[in-house]
Amino acid sequence: MAEAPRLTESASAVFAVLAGAGSATRPQLASLAGLSKPTVSSAVAELESARLAAHSGTASGVTGRSAAVYGLGPAAGAVLAVDLGPALTRVRGCALDGTLLAQATGTRDEAADVVREALAALPAGAPLRTVVVAVGDVTAREKEGARMRPATAKAGPVFDAMAVALPPGVPVHLENNVNCAALAELHEGAARGRRTFGYLRIGVGIGLGIVVGGEVLRGANGAAGELARLPYPWDDGREPRHEALEEYIGARSLLRRAAEVWPDEDGPCPRTAEQLFTRAGEGRAVARAVIDRHAVDVGRLAAAVTAVLDPGLIVLGGSTGADPQILPGVRAELARLSWPTEVVSSKVGDLGTVVGAARLAVTRGVQTVTETAGAKD
């Protein structure tokens, strides 16, 4: 990985502003960075010399005078976001202003090949600044000088298989996949304009992304929102089992319950959650009853979340949670058990995790360029 050049503090500030804006004139950069015009002119010259910024056109002002427009230069580089999902691997490559440069999708077993495909599509010569990998696992806080790795066996093997495709020396940061999806909902989805909410993912597994004051709450062990660890069942004479709640409410058990009551006259029993929801949408009574019961279960889980967090808004995501057919039942059960809380369906869908991971990667990538600020002052 090409090391970022050492920048003055003012050049670092201007670079960060330019990355956020995508393109800007020097007067706009001065306003956004809170710096004087002479300081910005000097900073822009420094960034141009380092090929971190480049002249990209002109803009006419209200007085009719034209001003040079600047964007990121070729040395600014790119970042990579990898979603190691339970079935699919999704990868996005982005410039440091968030522009999408490359994307690739494949099966979980093809993770390394999918990463190589995306890397090959990035602009030639653009330094790779950082990689963010979203995993369905707890992600511990980073330790100085230690390479991050998933905390448990859930994601470890597939992460190791994927990691061989990454260029040596590039910083790799892990983030929980539900947290990534919550960030996507915050910035581009159903929670835009909201600073505090819960993103409740229900699919093969369950999880909660907690956003408070516009920031993801990760917890002391990086395990905030690990709903699978809620004790279940919790009743006289019954011992809670490890991750039993996830086993009960996850998609596999949903399909098992459907199979137990599926009538022969309704044809073959659905083999996927998508097929089950399709049958319910077609008006099949048994499918509708199974989905309605699932909505009640999700509503009770939402009530537990609301009792602890009082988030004001819950966004439902995941392969079963995002389906609008469960929305009325979740709302009704939550209203019965808890105080008023808005419940909506996800707007980012299956791409939420990689979209959120890409946003994190861009932030990290800008930091790798600006973190040496002051070294030349």
DSSP state of 97: T
What residues are paired with 66 via a beta bridge?
Answer: 60
Residues 244-261 have a mean pLDDT of: 96
Cis peptide preceding 233, ω within 30 of 0: yes
Res. 75: pLDDT tops 60: yes
Residues 6+ apart with CB under 8 A from 35: 10, 13, 14, 29, 43
pLDDT single digits (tens) 125-147: 899 999 999 998 877 655 444 45
Amino acid symbol at 223: A
**What pLDDT does 58 receive?**
82
Q: What CA–CA distance (Å, rounded) separates 127 from 244?
A: 45
Res. 6: pLDDT tops 90: no
Q: Would the pTM of this model clear 0.85, i.e. be above it?
A: yes
pLDDT single digits (tens) 314-340: 999 999 999 999 999 999 999 999 999
Q: What CA–CA distance (Å, rounded) separates 270 from 335?
A: 31
pLDDT single digits (tens) 28-64: 999 999 999 999 999 999 999 999 999 888 876 655 5
Res. 237: pLDDT tops 90: no
Helix (H, G, I), strand (E, B), or coil: what is residue 242? Answer: coil
